[in-house]
Structure 1
Amino acid sequence: MKKILVFTVLICFMAAAHGQETFFPTKEGTVLVYKTFDKKSKETGSIRYTIEKVSISGNDMDISYLVESSDSRGASLYKDKITIQQRDGRLYMDMSNMVNKAAFQQDGEIPAELEITGNKMEIPVGIQPGQTLPDASVVMAMKMGFVSMKMAADITNRKVDAIEDVTVPAGTFKCYKLSGDVSATVMGMNVKTSNLDWYAKGIGLIRSESYDKSNKLQSFIQLTELRK
């Protein structure tokens, strides 16, 4: 499942307009490094995000990231690129970019029979505790030889729970705590999880926790290094 659906950890909530501080970095060259862990707190890998380009036109902004994933030994797993857009005072992320296409590489190439569609995850400006956020979804269809596979995922019940301080290896940050549910269907198998995420202004994701349907912690990710 982790290789089938990787919703990027750098979903840096909220664009800002007219002088408001953003909830994500906007400086080219900024690097954020995250470590991933299993339910027993054993390190399973790392993900590095580098801002390659920031394009600004009036109040609109496009931020392009290079995403590099490695296993617990430091061996490279995949590289990909994603773009986050600010339009009309809202931040949009194309959900088709949130799938780890590199997990389906065959001889170093992405299969031509891979099709990904989805709506854009939307985050309004100026969220506050108690506020609900719009749902999002993604659908993927592909063929690997004679095998066809389809996956669909819905992100629902998104809301802002609180503002609280969170300490991770990269430091202590004042964060917005967000929650949501993910319901995925893969080849007829249903998988349901719930997520808790903490985001800080000017940085983005600080820590994320994933729970199973019994509300038991399954994995978590946290910011370990920040270079601006």
Structure 2
Amino acid sequence: MKKIALTVILCTLITLSINAQSGCSKYYPMVEGASFQYTMYNKKGKTDGITDYKITNVTNSGGSTSATFDIKFTDDKGKDVFSTNYNINCSEDGIKIDYTSLFPSAMMKQYEDMGVEMDISGTDIQLPNDLSVGKELQDANVSVSMNMSGIKMKTTVDMINRKVEKKESITTPAGTFDCYLITETSTSKTMGATIETDNKLWLAEGIGMIKQESYKKNGNLMTRMELTKFSK
């Protein structure tokens, strides 16, 4: 169960961490009090869970902005699965997320209190302000190694072939938005199990992620996540 939970949390945070900016990025607000809600659906269109997050603290220093995000994930039964927080930094060129922030400090402390040895490595996620159709974005990854009383576990998530495909209008329960579509290939590995997906991510100026879809390599839809509530 912990292995599955860790994979879900890492993948969710990597997706949601792209939604963190203010005046240092024209695509996302990073305003104290702003809140977002995303509903996750399975391949049959049924609700798998809801992720709510809220910006609780924003500071500016030396041309960069830092914000604290509170996150709560609720499953399809309405049960709280986990709550945590993490920090994001951005500069005038756009967002650059420290890979260590993808593993929340609160969760890190919980594992440390349990005597779990951890090591995190990776490369930062970057999303520049100057998006345009055809633009290629840098790859990103994060790797978490854990040693739990002699039981070793390693989870890695790699995002490659990131590219801005086109502009199009997207409608969700939160409204209709003009978006850039970014595509990428994501590979998640945990304890010998590998999940490779092709992902589509729609971004709207001033709001951030509007919709995200993940597909198997054969082209079949696996999951969909879309913005259902937003306020700032």
Q: TM-score range, shorter-chain basis?
A: 0.7 to 0.9
**CA distance 1:54–1:14, change in 2 (3 Å):** closer
How far apart are residue 15 of structure 1 and its match?
Answer: 6.5
CA distance in 2, matches of 1:102, 1:69: 15
- Describe the superposition over 1:163-198 as per-residue Cα deviations: whole angstroms up to 9, x where unpaired: 111000111111111000112222223321110000
How far apart are residue 144 of structure 1 and its match?
Answer: 3.0
How far apart are residue 30 of structure 1 and its match?
Answer: 0.8
Q: TM-score, normalised by structure 1?
A: 0.87
CA distance in 2, matches of 1:101, 1:56: 21
2:94: which partner in 1? 90
> Among residues 5, 8, 11, which one is paired with 1:6 in the alignment?
11
Structure number with higher helix proportion:
2
1:142: which partner in 2? 146
> Among residues 37, 62, 65, which one is paired with 2:66 in the alignment?
62
SS at match of 2:101: helix
Q: Does 1:212 align with 2:216?
A: yes
CA distance in 1, matches of 2:54, 2:19: 13
Give 1:130-169 correspondences, 5 Å limit.
130-169=134-173
The answer on whether the counterparts of 2:85 and 2:106 sit within 8 Å (CA) in structure 1 is: no
CA distance in 2, matches of 1:83, 1:163: 30
CA distance in 2, matches of 1:23, 1:62: 16
Q: Does 1:74 align with 2:81?
A: no
**CA distance 1:40–1:2, change in 2 (3 Å):** farther
CA distance in 1, matches of 2:106, 2:75: 14
Identity of matched residues, %: 30
CA distance in 2, matches of 1:93, 1:143: 26
2:172 maps to a residue whose letter is V
**CA distance 1:54–1:134, change in 2 (3 Å):** same
**CA distance 1:181–1:223, change in 2 (3 Å):** same
1:6 maps to a residue whose letter is C
How far apart are residue 76 of structure 1 and its match?
Answer: 1.1
The answer on whether the counterparts of 2:74 and 2:81 sit within 8 Å (CA) in structure 1 is: yes
- Describe the superposition over 1:140-170 as per-residue Cα deviations: whole angstroms up to 9, x where unpaired: 1112334211122211000101111100011
**CA distance 1:210–1:167, change in 2 (3 Å):** same
SS at match of 1:6: helix
- Describe the superposition over 1:90-146 as per-residue Cα deviations: whole angstroms up to 9, x where unpaired: 311122333478889989x66632332221111222110100000011111112334
CA distance in 2, matches of 1:186, 1:179: 23
In the alignment of these two chains, the number of paired residues is 224
The answer on whether the counterparts of 2:52 and 2:72 sit within 8 Å (CA) in structure 1 is: yes
Unaligned runs of 5+ in 2: none
Kindly report structure 1 stretches of 4+ aligned residues shifted beyond 4 Å: 13-17, 99-107
**CA distance 1:203–1:215, change in 2 (3 Å):** same
CA distance in 2, matches of 1:103, 1:39: 29
1:186: which partner in 2? 190
CA RMSD of aligned residues (A): 2.5
> Among residues 112, 116, 125, which one is paired with 2:116 in the alignment?
112
CA distance in 1, matches of 2:217, 2:230: 33
